[in-house]
Amino acid sequence: MAKQVKLITMRDVKPKPVKWLWEPYIPRGKLVLVQGDGGDGKTTMTLAIAAAISKGEALPGIGCTAPAHVIVHNSEDGLCDTITPRLKRFGADIDRVHFIDDEDDPITFVDERLEQAIIEKDAKLLILDPVQAYFGGSNMNAAGSVRPIMKRLGQVAARHNCAVLLVGHLGKKGGKATYRGLGSVDIYAAARSVLTVGRLEIDEDMRAFIQIKNNLGAVSSPQAFGLDNAGNFCWLGECDATIEEFDGKKKQPTDKFAAARRFIESALAKGPVPAVDIIEGAEEQGISEKTLKRAKSALGVISIKRHGKWYWEMPIDVEFREVGHQGGQEGQSPMASLLLSDGNEVVL
């Protein structure tokens, strides 16, 4: 018996705007792939995102939001010795972060418990790490197996307006990041946004992610983050990392970031310098303001306001007290404001 065709006329479709958990990187109700080589910090980064969502904390480029429930499922790291300690270190509201107990029956992408957990907690974020662990008996290298699985998971995400982060390892083979992911390229194809995590050679404690795919808008700027051996994490803001740098194809002996650091160290060697002079001098040397401020943050340079004018200065030891700040640092909101004994103001 022939199947009955069901047609949808476009005039009956009501357009809906895309909703974002973190615009433009993580859309709600969609699949997002976070991929990278082992040890480059992709799991730590996703836990930092989970922590921020759980307490409604701002992520780079967006303001604070309402706290939301998060489901984190990791098949490689221990809950007691790795996942929970990291979440606590990042300040997560651990009453809003949940794990599905699957000790007796491992979770798969098509497991009904995923949707049940999302419904029960009204979760806004689901993290599955690593993607290769959730195919069950299906062949993750075969398009015929992967496509229906990804479609079903995408439908679950859409039904509940929940963002789903799939954390995946990259293979050792060379070539474009699009094709380096373990498993079928259909995993990559199903994701509406793809973030590739990698190391920045200029500093062993610096990482970044680059958005290499965005089906819902323009691909946006890379975001850098600091990650040291003790597990400390901090967002460093937009950067100029490239996917070629992650792939080891681009050596940068005269990297702009390194040049910016040298420029700042040289300019401030004899004392404070007006911020506007630093920015203009850097521009003359082909260093962007974005790269300059990233180098400023890495060096711990402080901004001092004297007689209504901002100066940059290398870190100093001072007696201080915290005060309310009127007006931001060079147009931005400061993290901390201090008063020196001479009445001048310092912003860190």
What CATH number does the domain located at 256-347 have? 1.10.10
How remote is the C-alpha of 38 from its chain's centroid? 16
Q: What is the pLDDT of residue 30?
A: 98
Instruction: For domain 18-246, say whether CATH 3.40.50.300 is its number.
Output: yes
This prediction's pTM: 0.72
Q: What is the pLDDT of residue 326?
A: 39
Q: What is the pLDDT of residue 193?
A: 97
- Where along the chain do its domains lie? 18-246, 256-347
Rounded to an integer, what distance in angstroms lies between the CA atom of residue 34 and that of residue 87?
A: 18
Beta strands across the sheet bearing 163-169: 97-98, 70-74, 125-129, 163-169, 31-36, 193-199, 206-214, 223-227, 233-238
Tens digit of pLDDT at every position of the chain (348 positions): 788 999 999 999 999 999 999 999 999 999 999 999 988 999 999 999 999 999 999 999 998 899 999 999 999 999 999 999 999 999 999 999 999 999 999 999 999 999 999 999 999 999 999 999 999 989 998 988 999 999 999 999 999 999 999 999 987 665 565 556 777 889 999 999 999 999 987 777 899 999 999 999 999 999 999 988 888 899 998 888 888 778 665 444 447 788 888 889 888 988 899 999 999 999 888 888 888 988 898 888 988 888 889 999 987 544 333 333 334 444 443 444 444 444 455 554
Residues 118, 156: contact at Cβ < 8 Å? yes
Q: What is the pLDDT of residue 229?
A: 82
Residues 159, 35: contact at Cβ < 8 Å? no
Q: What is the pLDDT of residue 180?
A: 67
Q: Which two tokens stand for residue 235?
A: 């967002």
